[in-house]
Amino acid sequence: MPGTPILTQLEQSIAQCITTMQPGSYHFRWSTVNEPDLAKCEFPTAAIYMDSDTSLDDPNGPDSGMYMHETIYRIEVLARLESEVANPRWAINEELNKCFDDLLKLFGRNWNVLGTADTFMYMSSRREYLRNNDIFIPSKLVTYWRAKWEADRSYPDQVA
């Protein structure tokens, strides 16, 4: 009977890693991942998306007995201010920077995402702002990560 697909294992491991972040070791308590209803979210919150998967297989044939993958993940973080400030449009930057530091530290320590990937490495990021001065509307940090992993050709739900 087939097991859980490796991409599902990888996404679950990413989410599990994020929800383990707690104050003391990290800037924030991260308890909400992949929750589409903002009313149910505790901030900061994260959503995990797979943007692409590319084969790294040798073009001369499958002599290795495994599939080699490079998967690009997008982790979108929403953060918001908890109190009134004079210029919330710029004050949110510090919160987003702390979120960024938390993710870098987390995946610097968990570079193989609980053993699911060979590597999980930071690629790039950008901020998205909602152009208003409402402190209660979250701003977004979009980060991109590269996962490299291998799957058995006969049993693609098993890490090779």
CATH number for 6-58+65-152 (one of 3.40.50.1820, 3.30.70.1700, 3.40.50.720, 3.30.930.10): it is: 3.30.70.1700
* pLDDT at residue 57, as a whole number: 86
Q: Which among 65, 90, 84, 83 is positioned nearest to 154, based on CA atoms?
A: 65
- Residue-range domain boundaries for the chain: 6-58+65-152
Name the pLDDT band for 160 (thresholds 50, 70, 90).
confident
The CB-based long-range contact list for 25-28 (8 Å cut-off, 24+ gap) reads 25/105, 26/102, 26/105, 26/106, 27/98, 27/99, 27/101, 27/102, 28/98, 28/99, 28/102
* pLDDT at residue 95, as a whole number: 92
Name the pLDDT band for 132 (thresholds 50, 70, 90).
low
Helices 88-109, 6-19: axis angle to 10 degrees equals 120
* pLDDT at residue 35, as a whole number: 95
- Beta-carbon contacts of 117 under 8 Å, excluding residues fewer than 6 positions away, are 10, 13, 147, 148, 149
Asked if residue 1 has pLDDT above 60, the reply is no
pTM given for the model? 0.91
Instruction: Please report the DSSP string for 8-75 in residue order.
Output: HHHHHHHHHHHHT--BTTBSS---EES---GGG--SSEEEEEEEEEEE---TT--TTSEEEEEEEEEE
